[in-house]
Structure 1
Amino acid sequence: MKKYSLRDMKREATANALADAAFALAQERGLDGFVVEDIVQQAGYSRRTFANYYSCKEEAVAAAAVNFKGADEVIQWIEALDEEMSLLDSLYQLMKLQLTAEHIRKLRQLVSLSKQYPTLEPYILSAFYGLQKNALEMLNELSRGRYPEGYTHLLTGAVYGAVMPLLDGSLNVHLPEHSTAEAADAVTFDQYLDTMFNCLRSGF
């Protein structure tokens, strides 16, 4: 996986700044309480710059909740991976690295917003598919022809499908930021992740 160039890093920083501004405004005012002009003013960019990255405010809001801001860390992790490690274990480590409490919290907030504002839903699906696609590309690079065709698609589909119930509240899984009282009847995220991958290892 190639390292980002300085230009790539600047583009990513701009996209993140616009998305973060949109997400903050959505949290503060609701999706109907602001327009693109408010986003660019808060982020310090022009409408033209916004148009280079996002088609509308909904897309920008969704992007903020799925953008992972640790690309360099992931690249270093991939370069240090044991070539003999299974793809399942590689994906497990990636999920532990990427799905921090903050990231999951923002994803949950995004899903909650979509229940109030259905226009967000297609952008959530698109953004979440982007996360899955990135993981798929990483696994394809790591597989080096060691696995049957289609294996990486099945693996990423199963894992990302199992993440969705964490975001929409279907499963009682708590994050490290939750109090002990809130988590009394819940499993931890790490416990859920371990259970999920143990099922995949054993083939259910």
Structure 2
Amino acid sequence: MFESAIMDKTLRQMAAGSLEIETGTQEVDFNAIVLDDIVPNNFHATSVAAVQNIYHITQEIAQNFQAEITLQQIKDWHKVLMRGLINNAGEFSTKQRVLPNVNTQLTHPKDIAEELKLWVKKYNNIQHLSDIAKSHYHFEIIHPFSDGNGRIGRLIVLAQCLQIGIKPPTINNNNKALYYILLEYAQINPAPLAYFFSSMC
């Protein structure tokens, strides 16, 4: 689908950017850890684990992107992504979650499993970027885990993009403000988010 060297760089940039907008970890430090096995100064063990986890699961998803995205698959990805970072990695949240500065009601903890089953069924045959934009917004308002929802949501976008044969978008600190605005607006119209994804490929 894509040349190996180009794909490797794309995956690193996507993983680094996704982590950067959540934790502030810069791409140069990300690459030092995953490419050179060098831990930057003042990096705690959890920060290193966050880098290694997202890098490994990004590679795994890229290698097996044709596999169907199931509820269990999402939980397994989250378990790898958040391993050593939270004590309930791979398990749905049992508490109400709140998104700061967003007026959106998230799925009640008791309804997460059922809502995510419906999500899997609804988006199991992605065809276009508009479908990916819709599914991304829907997943984020389900917000099934206690932490790491943004990262796992963007990993799902990665898998979905590869499934329809397009380069996944790179989202980082340079475009995160627009990304968050368009993600919230996707409740009304997902087209701008889909266009954003295409322009970041």
TM-score range, shorter chain: 0.3 to 0.5
Q: Which TM-score applies when normalising by structure 2?
A: 0.34
Which of the pair has the greater relative contact order for Cα pairs under 8 Å at 6+ separation? 2
Which structure features the higher share of helix residues? Answer: 1
Q: Look at both structures and tell me which one has the larger radius of gyration over its CA atoms.
A: 1
